[in-house]
Amino acid sequence: MISKKRRILRKDFAYILNNSKRYNTDNLLLFIAPINSTAGREESRISFSVSKKVQPLASNRNRYRRWGYDTIKETIKQIKPGYYLFFSFKKTPKPTSFLSTSKGVKELLSLSGVLS
């Protein structure tokens, strides 16, 4: 997991879903929205979501989330400040793996331009 100050707060999800730009890969969807802060450039906040439609078992949903956070830990220093990054897993016909998740997260980060 990442630190609590780097995670998206529950109250911010409505803002993100209404004011974001979307990017997608085969198994992931990324919503990016700027952080509206009057205190200057705040650190980017990150969150992963896995629906019950994607994985019915909670243990598998948690595994997918951990894979995402493990990948983010490698690249968190390169992410520009001032963004909400909300990753959502998509339902795919075949099960996803750590390698495909890691590749998808890195691809979305570079595609969206939030890596410095």
Domain extents in the chain: 4-112
* Separation of alpha carbons 113 and 109, rounded Å: 6
pLDDT of residue 69: 94
pLDDT tens by residue, 21-74: 999 999 999 999 999 875 567 889 999 999 999 999 999 999 999 999 999 998
CB 68 within 8 Å of CB 101? yes
User: Per-residue confidence at 3, pLDDT binned at 50, 70, 90?
Assistant: confident
pTM over 0.85: yes
Provide CB contacts within 8 A for 50, sequence distance 6+.
Answer: 60, 61, 64, 65, 88, 89
Phi, psi (rounded to 5 degrees) for 30 = -120, 125
Structure-token match 């700027």, residue found: 34
The structural architecture, per CATH, of the domain 4-112 is: 2-Layer Sandwich (3.30)
Task: List, in sequence order, every residue forming a beta bridge with 45; answer none if it has no partner.
Answer: 84
